[in-house]
Amino acid sequence: MKLFKRILLVFALLLFLVAVALVGILIFVDPNEYKGPIVDLVKEQTGRDLVIEGDIDLSVFPWIGLELGKVSLNNPKGFTDEQFVAIERVNIKVAFLPLFTLQTRVGELELKGLLLNLQQRADGVTNWDDLVAAGGSDTEAAPDTPAPESSPQDPAAGSSAAAETALAGLYIGGVDIQDANITWRDDASSTVTKIERFNLNTGRIRLGDPIKLKAKFALRNQAPKLIAGVELAATAALDLAAQKYGLNDIRLDIKASGPPLPGNEQALALSADSITADLNADSATIKQLILEVAGLESRVDINASNIQGDKPQVAGTLQLEAGSLREVMQTLALEIPVTADPEVLGKLKMETAFNGSTEAVELSDLNLIFDDSTLTGSMSVKNFEKPQVKVAMALDRINADRYLPPPVETPEGDETEAAAAAADAEIVLPVEMLRTLDVEGSFKIGELQVMNLKTANLDTGITAKNGLVDLKPLNIDLYDGQYRGAASLDVRGDKPLYATNMKLTTVKVGPLLNDFMEDGKVEGTASFDVNIKTTGERVSVLKENLNGVLEFQFLDGALKGINIAEKLREAEAKIKRKTYRPQSTAQKTDFAALEGNANIKKGVVSIGNFVLEAPLFRSAGSGTAALPTEELDVRVEAYIVGTKTGQGGKDVDDVKKLLIPLDIKGTFTEPKVEFGYKAYLQAIEKREVDAKRAELEKKRQATEAARKQKEAELKAEAEQRRIEEKERLRRELEAKKAAEKKKLEEKKKDLLKGLFD
């Protein structure tokens, strides 16, 4: 702005000097007598031909005026034969009397029919270089010579003050430029650009007062071909003392056509309440800047500070709105993606506050509405050379399926080729961009539908640095269950590495598979614990390189498409050569529990063991599922039980231990179950043999028990007889002893009687 002030100062001084000179010329000379010497002097100094076709008219009072007719100056050698510059008419008038009080009052400045051809050759030389050289000083100050300082008593300082006084009193009745044409040629790039029919009209110009201006012109470019009509209207405000400058009530309209433009034709309208700069406060403002193009309207308010420093700061608000984003894209000739829902890409509205500098920018209070979704949050970017991004976003809801391409009907016979192409599709990642990312933030989605899967409360943390992208934690609610885990993408090496670990708990598998596949093979409540890794750049390679472990559990569910219990009953009837009447038409196998674990190596899922508890049978099994080929090879060993409950392993005592092996072959989409009829028959025969053996053993045991019972009875009888005989002998012995004792006593008595007698 200091430069602008100096230009106005010099302009005022020149007008004053020109006015004094013109007075002398009018009194003493006829200016037309000097046309020849002027032409010769130009020829001598520049080597160019100056042609002055019209008369030079001067007037002195009350206006010092100069009117110049048609004048032209040709191009130097080595350029086109076109005129360098030509003017139809120039008219300038300065009020005479105010000049003596250092007041500059200029009438309307008129310039008509300006023709200016600017050209730069391929070697970089322009057709005005010689004029600059001719107008330069013969002597130049040494570059290191300091400029002399002016003291307060310096006469030059006094002249400057007087000039500023004159500048403050500057008055111009207006500027009227009519039918100006300017051409720019750049031979190096074969560019030809023209400003045609340029017209500029201003109201009166007085510093401190509003200055109205209007401009209208056409812009034409040859390669690429482009034509634009431009109209500008504004009111300028200049306050040199307060160092305040501005444009108010701005309106710019551009209508352009040509192959470079979308649709070969576009219109742009820009308006603003005001654009101001306050140099003393080192600030600037833009109020209600509105840009309308292709049905998209933006509104901006900006406050800038430190505008003259190395690190200017800006802050403000931005609003964007479009009635239909699809129509905007169509108007701009942008490729509109084919979407499953033709109604999407409609309403668009955005509001945000921003602040920034040459080193960073921040968006806050972001509110973006598109279709029926609303995105809110904030983000910031620091260090533009190596951006550091922080983001926190929340989306209320979105149905991503509406924005995906509609399903493609595959002609008959091409299904296999289409499936093979999808299975081996290349995954193109922006590796170099990912390696430069430095992002930290969070993202939330209230309701999300993608691939017909319905989820809620997605909440994840995002970090990306030096090629490692982490989503941690990654939490999602889906189908009455929860997903809790983390995922990562690592592109620091030669090939991208994918990893995830997750816990999926109490998810309703039936509705999930029905939404995802439209024909779920499994029902029930599922829980998974998964930890897997893989690497590759194609889908097939990702499957081949998959490694990890998983555990699974299904409760109170069913296997759809097969009724194993019914098959078992039918098989038993065939083996026994009986007529079988189906007891159920339901093509599913209910189960109380299905659980197991597996290891994954090189894309092959090895099921170490799983257990299935179902009505009428229990089963356990193992096998493999090859992800690259989608082939199944699983052996299931089922046991018939004597209960239909099948809940929690009850009625174990009723298990008949009838083993029936089942082989599950085929593919994921078309599994085939093969029953081991021979093994089943062998199991039945074994059961019958075992039953006969059990019956014979029972009889043998009964006979043996009876024999042992008889032996025990006989033994008991013999023992009783022995005891009775022993007792008889004891009594007899005692009786004999008693008799002998009595007899001995009688002998003793007889002996004593004989002795005393």
pLDDT score, position 289: 95
**What angle (nearest 5°) sits at the alpha carbon of residue 645, between those of residues 642 and 651?**
50
d(CA 226, CA 256): 7
Give the pLDDT confidence of 452-502 residue by residue, as tens digits.
899 999 999 999 999 999 999 999 999 999 999 999 999 999 899 999 999
Token pair of 663 as six digits: 């082989």
Q: Which is nearest to 245 in space by CA: 222, 221, 274, 278?
A: 278
Categorise residue 508: left if φ over 0, alpha if ψ from -120 to 50, beta otherwise: beta
d(CA 51, CA 59): 23
Cα 349 from chain centroid (whole Å): 18
Give the β-pairing of 50-52 and 265-278. Answer: unpaired
Burial of 692 (0-12, 13-18, 19+ CB in 10 A): exposed
Burial 598-629 (b: 16+ CB within 10 A, else e): bebeebbbebeebebbbbbbbbebebebbbbe
Give me the amino acid identity at 254.
I
pLDDT score, position 655: 39
d(CA 213, CA 200): 7
Residue ranges in the chain whose pLDDT is less than 50: 1, 3, 7, 137-160, 162-163, 166, 645-656
Asked if 469 contacts 463 with a C-beta cutoff of 8 angstroms, the reply is yes
pLDDT score, position 438: 94
d(CA 440, CA 455): 24
Give the pLDDT confidence of 501-550 residue by residue, as tens digits.
999 999 998 888 888 776 667 788 989 999 999 999 888 899 999 999 99
pLDDT score, position 736: 85
Q: Which is nearest to 68 in space by CA: 86, 51, 89?
A: 89
Asked if 107 contacts 63 with a C-beta cutoff of 8 angstroms, the reply is yes
Instruction: Name the residue with tokens 């970090």.
Output: 463
Categorise residue 211: left if φ over 0, alpha if ψ from -120 to 50, beta otherwise: beta
Token pair of 106 as six digits: 């200029």
pLDDT score, position 138: 47
Asked if 604 contacts 633 with a C-beta cutoff of 8 angstroms, the reply is no
